[in-house]
Amino acid sequence: MSYLVLARKWRPRSFETLIGQDHVVRALTHALSTGRLHHAWLFTGTRGVGKTTLSRILAKSLNCEQGVTASPCGHCSACTEIDAGRFVDYIELDAASNRGVDEMTQLLEQAVYAPSSGRYKVYMIDEVHMLTGHAFNAMLKTLEEPPAHVKFILATTDPQKIPVTVLSRCLQFNLKQMTVAAMVAHLEHVLAQESFACESHALRLIAQAASGSMRDALSLTDQAISYSAGNLTAQAVQEMLGTLDQHHLLNLLRALTAGDAGAVLAVADDLAARGLSYQAALADLAVLLSRIAIAQRLGAAQADDPMSSDIEALAQTLQPDELQLFYSVAVHSRHELSLAPDEYAGFVMACLRMLALLPADRIVPPALPSQARAPAPAESDAQFETLVPSVATTKTQEPAPQPAPEPSPPVAASAFDDGPPAWEDEGTESLDEPEPEMVAVDELDEALVASAVRRPPPVAAALPRPEAIRSQDWPSLAASLPLSGTAAELALNSEWISGRGNEVRIRVAIRSFAEGGGRDRLCTVLSEYFGQVIHLVVECGGTGEDTAYAVEQTVLAARQQAAEQAVSGDVVVQRLLQDFDARVLPGSIRPPAV
Q: Is residue 199 part of a domain?
A: yes
Do 322 and 263 lie in a common domain? yes
CA 52 to each of CA 94, 133, 197, 215, 359: distance values in angstroms, whole numbers, following the listed order: 11, 24, 30, 11, 56
Q: For residue range 274-329, what is the model confidence (pLDDT) as tens digits?
A: 878 888 889 889 988 998 898 888 877 666 666 778 888 888 888 888 889 899 99
CA 95 to each of CA 101, 124, 174: distance values in angstroms, whole numbers, following the listed order: 11, 10, 19
Instruction: State the average pLDDT over residues 338-363.
Output: 85
Structure confidence at residue 205 (pLDDT): 87
The residue that leads in pLDDT, 242 or 269, is 269
In percent, the amount of the chain with pLDDT more than 70 equals 81
Residue 315 sits at the vertex; the CA angle it makes with 312 and 317, to the nearest 5 degrees, is: 115
Round to whole Å and give the CA distance between 506 and 471.
10
Do 154 and 22 lie in a common domain? yes
Round to whole Å and give the CA distance between 557 and 331.
42
Structure confidence at residue 456 (pLDDT): 45
Among 246-250, 374-378, 423-427, 547-551, the range scoring the smallest mean pLDDT is 423-427
Do 221 and 295 lie in a common domain? no
Structure confidence at residue 391 (pLDDT): 40
Structure confidence at residue 239 (pLDDT): 82
Sorting pLDDT into bands at 50, 70 and 90, what band is 590?
Answer: confident
Do 165 and 20 lie in a common domain? yes
Q: Is residue 558 part of a domain?
A: no
Structure confidence at residue 55 (pLDDT): 94
Q: Considering the entire predicted model, what is its pTM?
A: 0.55
> What CATH code is carried by the domain that includes residue 522?
3.30.300.150
Sorting pLDDT into bands at 50, 70 and 90, what band is 150?
Answer: very high
Do 103 and 42 lie in a common domain? yes
Do 22 and 164 lie in a common domain? yes
Do 144 and 266 lie in a common domain? no
Structure confidence at residue 511 (pLDDT): 79
Structure confidence at residue 365 (pLDDT): 64
Structure confidence at residue 453 (pLDDT): 41
Do 136 and 208 lie in a common domain? no
Last residue of a domain, one of 152, 174, 196: 174
Structure confidence at residue 562 (pLDDT): 86
Structure confidence at residue 77 (pLDDT): 92
Domain that holds residue 484: 466-549
Structure confidence at residue 561 (pLDDT): 85
Do 170 and 186 lie in a common domain? no
Instruction: State the average pLDDT over residues 511-515.
Output: 77
Q: For residue range 119-149, what is the model confidence (pLDDT) as tens digits?
A: 999 999 999 999 999 999 999 999 999 999 9
Structure confidence at residue 38 (pLDDT): 93
Strands 503-508 and 150-156: unpaired
> What CATH code is carried by the domain that includes residue 265?
1.20.272.10
Collapsing DSSP to helix, strand or coil, 175 comes out as coil
The residue that leads in pLDDT, 6 or 444, is 6
Q: Is residue 491 part of a domain?
A: yes
Last residue of a domain, one of 174, 193, 222: 174
How many domains, in total, are found in the chain? 4
The residue that leads in pLDDT, 590 or 414, is 590
The residue that leads in pLDDT, 569 or 62, is 62
Among 79-83, 296-300, 482-486, the range scoring the smallest mean pLDDT is 296-300
> What CATH code is carried by the domain that includes residue 205?
1.10.8.60
The residue that leads in pLDDT, 153 or 234, is 153
Do 233 and 321 lie in a common domain? no
User: Residue 527 pairs with which residues in a beta bridge?
Assistant: none
Instruction: State the average pLDDT over residues 413-428.
Output: 43
Structure confidence at residue 402 (pLDDT): 52
| Per-chain mean pLDDT for the chain | 81
Q: Is residue 314 part of a domain?
A: yes
Instruction: State the average pLDDT over residues 216-232.
Output: 90
Structure confidence at residue 373 (pLDDT): 46
Sorting pLDDT into bands at 50, 70 and 90, what band is 184?
Answer: very high
Instruction: State the average pLDDT over residues 150-165.
Output: 93
Q: Which long-range contacts (CB under 8 A, 24 or more apart) does 97-104 make?
A: 99/130, 99/131, 99/132, 99/135, 100/132, 100/134, 100/135, 101/132, 101/134, 101/135, 101/138, 103/135, 104/131, 104/135, 104/138, 104/139
Structure confidence at residue 366 (pLDDT): 62
Contact (Cβ atoms closer than 8 angstroms) between residue 227 and residue 241 = no
Structure confidence at residue 569 (pLDDT): 83
Q: For residue range 29-76, what is the model confidence (pLDDT) as tens digits?
A: 999 999 899 999 999 999 999 999 999 999 999 999 999 999 999 899
Return the closest-CA partner of residue 351 out of 366, 367, 329.
329
Q: Is 74 left (phi over 0), alpha (psi -120 to 50) or beta?
A: left
